A and B are shown apart, each in its own frame.
Chain A
Amino acid sequence: MKNMKSGKQRKRINPFTAVMLAVLVLHSLSLILLVFWGAVSSFKTDYDFRFNTYGFPKEMTFSNFALVWENFGTSVRIGLDLVRFYIEDLFVNSLIYSLSAALVGTMSHAVMGYLTAKFPFKISKVLTAIVLTTMVLPIIGTLPSLLQVVTALGIYDTWIGIWFMNAGFLGMNFLIFQAAFKAIPADFGDAAKVDGAKNFSVFASIMLPLVMKTFSLLYLLSFIGLWNDYGTALIFLPSKPTIAIGLFYFNLARDGVMGAIPVKLAAAVMSLLPVLIIFALFHKKLLGNLSLGGIKG
């Protein structure tokens, strides 16, 4: 017991542990306090915020949230018309964009990971080599060219265009899926085939459920990334603005009631809620140990 106690004490006073603990506490506190400050300030009036930037509100007000609910939105020129998108329209667009593009992207990576892991054709090696090469040897500044190609194909500013743009297989997710499928013994698929299962059934009913943990994690990460991303939608989907685009324009507003900082912070807090709910529901899944060997723990 004595030895164990002294061992524990040694661990506690380890300089590395002490320094890292201090740095991490500072980092975590600063992050939490910032979000807390933002949330608290969103309940202040503009006047209160001007003279009381860091304290608690002198008088709590929910009017900022009501203002955001009524006015949050963005106007987009579609043809000759200027169309106004309100918060519910932006929310629906965000949902369609994030849910569908994340599904297309994750499924595309899963399919290609499965094919290259389980079918030893020469093309499987070629495709894997392409992924590895494009990861290490990047090409910079192709955005103008991409825009031209998308426009030439007639899929610019369309849902089909966005889905097709997300249907690629390059990148780290391909390697993660490939490793996950390689880890499944071939007997699983062979046994099903002896019983008369076709290739698609083996993939959809046996292999995909076995990597569902990896699939759901990558889907969630992709969904969150797309929900928060406004850059891609701003350029490739201008007539279907999302919540993130609405917030981007809202933040740039400098005039009138919408220009008040507490109102902007209220909009930020409202935009934060869906993501925080997802995080609260799935944080264990999201924080699973992701590696090139699949998911652990």
Chain B
Amino acid sequence: MLKKNPENQNILSRARGGIKAALYELSVRTHQLFHKKGKAAKKSLGRTRRQDMIFYALMSAIPILHFLIFYVAVNINFILLSFKSFSLAQNDFIWAGFENFIKVIDDFKGNLMMIGALKNSLIVYAVNTFVGFLTGLLFAFYVYKKMPLANTFRLILFLPSIIPGLVLTMMYGYFVDRAVPSIVSLFTHTDEIGLLSAPSTQFVTILFYCIWTGFGSSVLINTGAMSGIDESIVESAKLDGAKLMREFFSITLPLIWPTLSIFLTVGIIGIFTSQMGLFNFYGAYAPNHLITLGYYMFATVQTALASGGSQAGYPYLSAMGLTMTAIVLPVTLFVRWALEKFGPKTY
């Protein structure tokens, strides 16, 4: 009916044209819209990224500035300082070439105090690593396995990390120097000398103190690492008949090895930085036969500051530090490589 009427056909064709036009309009508008949205989305993404970068830059500004000053600048100055010496005539630092390094090497070859300090430092490191570290590891395993009184021991082992070192040193010092001789005299019926007063027992007494008070943080962190071990592994080993020691060596040790190897690698620096608590015991005036290299460097700076702030000794100390760094860097890298290569592995 509609087709036959020309007026109607006209309306139909106009309508078709209108729809076509509308559809075309729609497609153009949609294209434009999508095109615009893409741009807006990109713009919005760019804005978010820019905001992220601004936030990042603002928040990290102080820590990065700290790094640039207290690590980069301090270390550059440290290297430069080791090649200088203090001229009293000019009241300033002047270039000295390798003079300080030659003195450091000469001292390590012929100065009895420095040779003794190096020997003491090595002994402290070895004993701390082989006795303190291993014992601490076993203590951590005991706590991790929740054996009798484990939580009580965990608390007590951590106490030396909380109690001020100076307080503990004072109590220990007076106890071994005053109370112990009195107690021993009860049995020997002779007058005994205090353990910190007799030169022959001073070093061992202080070394014992270092190990005795040094378990806290290592037990805490090793227990944390051990508690991360999947319980199902331990259970299946138990079902296979694994005893406690087998579990320790075959499961616990390999699984916490990454944590242990970090500690062992980072700990190497202790050879040259450990003060063995000597500053607590003696201030800046420890007997020469007791000193370690770490103590020597700290006490020298402190003494210089206390007596007016003379910087004359700084270049020598810097050269000594740089020499030690040159020794400890390859040793650290080697130990890290060796621990990764020969340490226990998980399969």
Contact = CB atoms under 8 A, between A and B. Distances in A.
A218 to B, nearest CB: 13
Contacts of B325: 138-141
Interface of B: 51-53, 55-56, 59-60, 62-64, 66-67, 69-71, 73-75, 77-78, 81, 135, 138-139, 142, 147-149, 152-168, 170-172, 174-175, 178-179, 182-183, 212, 215, 220-221, 223-225, 227-228, 244-245, 259, 262, 265-266, 269, 272-273, 279, 283, 297-298, 301-302, 305, 311, 313-314, 317-318, 320-322, 324-325, 328-329, 332-333, 336
B163 A35 contact: yes
B74 A142 contact: yes
B287 to A, nearest CB: 15
B166 A244 contact: yes
Given A16-B244, A141-B322, A293-B228, A199 B283 contact: no
B259 A53 contact: no
Q: Which of A24, A53, A227 counts the most chain B CB atoms within 10 A?
A: A24
B56 A143 contact: no
Contacts of B75: 139, 142, 145
Contact of A108 (B63, B163, B171, B329): B63
Contacts, number: 254
Contacts of A165: 66, 70
A165 B170 CA distance: 29
A199 B166 contact: no
Contacts of B262: 135
Given A140-B321, A165-B70, 20 more contacts: A24-B142, A31-B159, A38-B174, A53-B182, A127-B64, A136-B333, A138-B266, A140-B328, A141-B322, A144-B81, A144-B318, A164-B62, A168-B63, A244-B164, A261-B174, A269-B167, A271-B166, A279-B159, A283-B155, A296-B228
Contacts of B59: 111, 115, 203
4 closest A-B pairs by CB: A141-B321, A38-B171, A144-B314, A145-B78
Given A108-B63, A138-B332, A17 B148 contact: yes
A24 B60 contact: no
Contact of B266 (A136, A140, A199, A276): A136
Given A34-B171, A38-B175, A54-B183, A170 B139 contact: no
Interface stretch (A59-67, A180-188, A229-237): A229-237
A247 B227 contact: no
A114 to B, nearest CB: 8
A83 interface: no
Given A112-B60, A238-B305, A268 B167 contact: yes
Interface in A185-211: 198-200, 203
B170 A268 contact: yes
Given A111-B60, A248-B166, A290-B220, A149 B152 contact: no
A35 B163 CA distance: 10
Interface string A1-36: 000000000000010110011011101101110110
A265 B170 contact: yes
Contacts of B52: 119, 199
A297 interface: yes
B156 A290 contact: no
B318 A289 contact: no
A279 B162 contact: yes
B183 to A, nearest CB: 6
30 contacts: A17-B142, A20-B147, A21-B148, A25-B149, A27-B157, A27-B215, A28-B152, A34-B172, A37-B179, A38-B170, A38-B175, A119-B52, A119-B56, A135-B266, A140-B328, A141-B78, A149-B74, A168-B70, A170-B71, A199-B55, A200-B55, A235-B305, A271-B166, A271-B167, A272-B167, A278-B162, A287-B220, A289-B224, A291-B259, A293-B228
A169 interface: yes
Contacts of A35: 163, 168, 171
A78 interface: no
Contacts of B60: 111-112, 115, 127
A143 B298 contact: yes
A275 B174 CA distance: 21
Contacts of A227: 164
A247 B165 CA distance: 11
Contacts of A115: 56, 59-60
A145 B155 contact: no
Given A111-B63, A228-B165, A140 B172 contact: no
